[in-house]
Chain A
Amino acid sequence: MMSAWADPLGVEAESPSILAELVGIGVRYGSQWVLRNINLTLRSGDRIALIGPNGAGKTTLLKALLGMVPAAEGQIRWAHPKPRIGYVPQRLQFDPHFPISVEEFLAVSAPGPARWFGGVPRSKSRAIASVLERVEAVDLVGKKLGTLSGGELQRILIAAALLQQPQLMILDEPASNIDQRGSQALQALLWDLHKEYGLTLVFVSHDLHWVGRLADRVACLDTTLCGLGSPDEVLSDHYLEKTYGDSFMPKLGGLAGERNPL
């Protein structure tokens, strides 16, 4: 197979470029291996879901991608220049009574200086207004961050990630703290962002409906990569049983046939 790098004339113009190649990545905490021998290629425009049981190393893999945990073996080969990354955490670690407005939080998240005493600088406030419009949360701008609902906060976290002008968006369980309706709206938003900007998505999810609808590739983790392929392939009974065990099976009736109504 030819890679996009080997194609200076652009003959293969439609073939998406490689953002990163994970080659035999292994991560350990002390003597305990959390990840082993992970091989995965991220191409521009991919929508990759990471699934697997608790403790399978999903969050660790995200942290390795962010460069927050070093790889004990293998390496990540990034494209040049390295793609800009937006990260959406599962939740924020903070006291909900801490007074910071949505606009101030976004001003903190946007790269570049923040002027506290004189309010948010004008250049930043324009960028903030535009990402808030994009995530349909303009009315939240003056609200206190701690008073937002799960779905509202998730939108603001996505807005914060968009302020990095990312090519690659990494999300850690984006649907875990929100209700069904909010979850569907969030799926739709991510789908639109992907369509509009060609944004590459890598996300962890326990919600296999989410995975089936949003992802075009699914990586099943259980310390090692125990499955990688289209949702139809990986979300099959065989794989899921292997990864999650028998107890998981009843919840999944007919899932694979349901995908991608967006």
Chain B
Amino acid sequence: MTLGEIWSYEFMRYAVLSAAILGPLCALLGVFVTLRGMAFFSDALAHSAVSGIAIGFLVEERFGLHLDPMLVVLAFSLLLAGTMVWLSRNGTLAPDTVIAFSFTGSVAFGVIVISMLGNYRLLDGILFGSIYANGPQDIVRQAGLALVAGGFLITQMRSYTLLTLNPEMAHVQLIRSALLHYAFALLIAATVVICLKMLGALLLSALIVVPAAAAKLVSGNFRTLLLVSLGIGLLAPLAGVWGSIRFNLPSGPAIVISNIAILLACYLLRPLLNRLAFR
């Protein structure tokens, strides 16, 4: 199938747009997620979305109240992200412990609700997603989030970097650490929810973590890291979409595999690239 043919189908156009919007956003977020050691946190939030979606369906089924499923998941994820941050800042438990029980708990709860509804087919969509399910409304939402989240990250980059590397110095400069920490957690939650349709709960964190990880292998400074991450974030999902159409593969796994292939290529090319331009 040629590129022109791909573009001629509406659902494929939306898939390409969605990949081009969300890929770079997740990659930019991923630079800070990996810097701040929050890969597990973002993965856990993605998994917990099972609960949010299940709750949305439960409310509709039992109370006949139709809520926008995405808003229900968003509310649930924001609440969960805030709670996890609060518990790890104010409790006696280590952050990864808090994350582990919060997300397994939410997945368990979600699966119980889905079994009560007797709708296991729902689970397939939640876990693996499909980029071809995007409609025009989704694209508008995704673009909106990309603008807000991307703008916030770009303006707060210095604060987040200093906060991670030298928190005392950040404090001296009146950078509000608690506020930024919560804001970052909520940003991850919102991004995860918006990306759910594209990759599903099980695979989503690859989109966030892998581009930054691959870029880290071949970058000698932060600027290169950012640019290479954004590049991979754009390229990998598009390649995944193309691969999924060309070889008739499920879209989510195809996107993840193309990300991993780029990671592998960066690993293998590292000695060569290090010798050339990046140092």
Contacts and interface: CB of A to CB of B under 8 A. Distances in A.
A104 B216 contact: no
A144 B278 CA distance: 11
B169 A109 contact: yes
B172 A66 contact: yes
Nearest to A105: B165
Contacts of A105: 165
A104 to B, nearest CB: 5
Interface in A84-138: 85-87, 89, 92-95, 97-101, 104-105, 107-109, 111, 113-114, 116-117, 119
A105 B172 CA distance: 16
Interface of chain B, main secondary structure: helix
Given A87-B172, A99-B216, A116-B157, A108 B165 contact: yes
Contacts of B222: 99-101, 104, 116
Interface of chain A, main secondary structure: loop
B227 A117 contact: yes
A112 B219 CA distance: 25
B17 interface: no
B35 to A, nearest CB: 6
Contact of B165 (A85, A94, A113, A117): A94
B162 A108 contact: yes
Interface string B183-222: 0000000000000000000000000000000001001111
Nearest to B218: A99
Interface residues of A, number: 34
A67 interface: yes
Interface of B: 35, 37, 154, 157-158, 161-162, 164-169, 171-173, 216, 219-227
15 contacts: A63-B168, A66-B168, A87-B169, A89-B166, A92-B165, A93-B164, A93-B167, A95-B37, A99-B225, A100-B225, A104-B222, A105-B165, A117-B223, A117-B226, A164-B172
Given A108-B162, A116-B223, 13 more contacts: A87-B168, A89-B168, A89-B169, A94-B35, A99-B216, A99-B220, A100-B165, A100-B225, A108-B158, A116-B154, A117-B223, A117-B227, A164-B172
